[in-house]
Amino acid sequence: MATIAVAKPRRDWVGIVFALVLTVVIVVPMLVVVTWSVSNVWRFPSVLPQEFGFKFWQMTLARSDVWSALTMSLSLSAVVTALSALICLPAAYAFARMEFPARTLLFFSFLAGQAFPKFGLLVAIAAIFLQLNLIATFWGVVLIQLVGTLLFMIWIPVAAFQAVDRRMEEAARDAGAKPLRVFWSITLPQAAPTIGAAVLLSFVGTFYETEGAWLIGAPQIRTMPVLMISFINNQPVIQYAAVLSVLLWIPSLIALVFTRRVVNSGSFARGFGA
């Protein structure tokens, strides 16, 4: 009886090389920052710190400006994300399900904020905000950061609503369900995981937004990224900035874990039509 030879899978050396390069470029700098955050003494030319410890964690977390900046960043992110969802989700549903004049033009207009140099756009908006007394105010920063969430909160939910199984909606309507009941029971549950990912991306993007918070909010409104920049520019001790950097990674890690769960369920991919 003849045996069938099974060919061994070939190694993708190009992919392995790219993976190693990405590891070096991304992971190594992160490890260096983490090491700096837990080093009490690290002097050149030593490869490793001469003394490990959490002295600078204690000193950084004891600062009142760190906690006020963290509170400000979380408050801004929560308010901006909530307003963005309130404004953009109904608009996303309309773009996905309805036909109206200039629909395509309006839909692509949400890319305008990403198509031009951002700082120049912010300067122009700042000139308008100056006339409206919105400079160095909480709501001025909210409005400027709201612009940055439009891409996430329009494009991703539109794809999610378009990917909903229309046959299930039609079956529910044939069974006598009202349009609102169909939306809450059929449409929204299917689109919700992808919309949740869009909301989380908007929250994290707002948390890390720096240019608008600095240009519109300074000096009264200080967020964590703005505070970290001031630490880097004004503090001769690198450990302070390293500790703040690690703290700033926490929202990204949470977002990564959540988004990975959504991607594994296939909902995020369906939301983009995959």
What is the widest separation between alpha-carbon atoms in the chain?
89
Residue 143 reports pLDDT greater than 50: yes
DSSP category for residue 52: E
pTM over the 0.85 mark: no
Amino acid residing at 31:
L
pLDDT band at 2 (very low <50, low <70, confident <90, very high): low
The pLDDT value given to residue 159: 86
Q: CA 151 to CA 251: how far, in whole Å?
A: 20
Q: CA 39 to CA 237: how far, in whole Å?
A: 11
pLDDT band at 75 (very low <50, low <70, confident <90, very high): very high
The per-residue DSSP string of 242-260 comes to HHHHHHHHHHHHHHHHHHH
The pLDDT value given to residue 44: 79
pLDDT band at 7 (very low <50, low <70, confident <90, very high): low
Q: In 3-state terms, the chain is what percent helix, strand and coil (to 5)?
A: 75, 0, 25
The model's pLDDT over 88-119, given as tens digits with 9 standing for 90+, comes to: 999 898 888 888 888 778 877 777 666 667 77
Side-chain half-sphere of 183: how many Cα atoms within 13 Å? 8
Report the CATH superfamily, name and number, of domain 55-271.
MetI-like (1.10.3720.10)
Beta-bridge partner residues of 41: 51
* Rg of the chain in Å (alpha carbons): 24
The model's pLDDT over 127-141, given as tens digits with 9 standing for 90+, comes to: 899 999 999 999 999
**Angle between helical axes of 224-234 and 238-265 (0-180°, round to 10):** 150
Q: Where are the domains of the chain?
A: 55-271
Residue 148 reports pLDDT greater than 70: yes
Backbone phi and psi for residue 50, each to the nearest 5 degrees, phi listed first? -75, -25
Q: CA 106 to CA 94: how far, in whole Å?
A: 11
The pLDDT value given to residue 239: 85
The model's pLDDT over 185-239, given as tens digits with 9 standing for 90+, comes to: 888 888 888 888 888 888 988 998 988 899 898 888 999 988 888 877 776 778 8
Residue 4 reports pLDDT greater than 80: no
pLDDT band at 262 (very low <50, low <70, confident <90, very high): low
Name the residue among 238, 220, 201, 193 with its Cα closest to residue 56.
238
**Average pLDDT, integer, range 39-60:** 87
The pLDDT value given to residue 273: 45
Distance of CA 64 to the CA centre of its chain: 26
The pLDDT value given to residue 29: 85
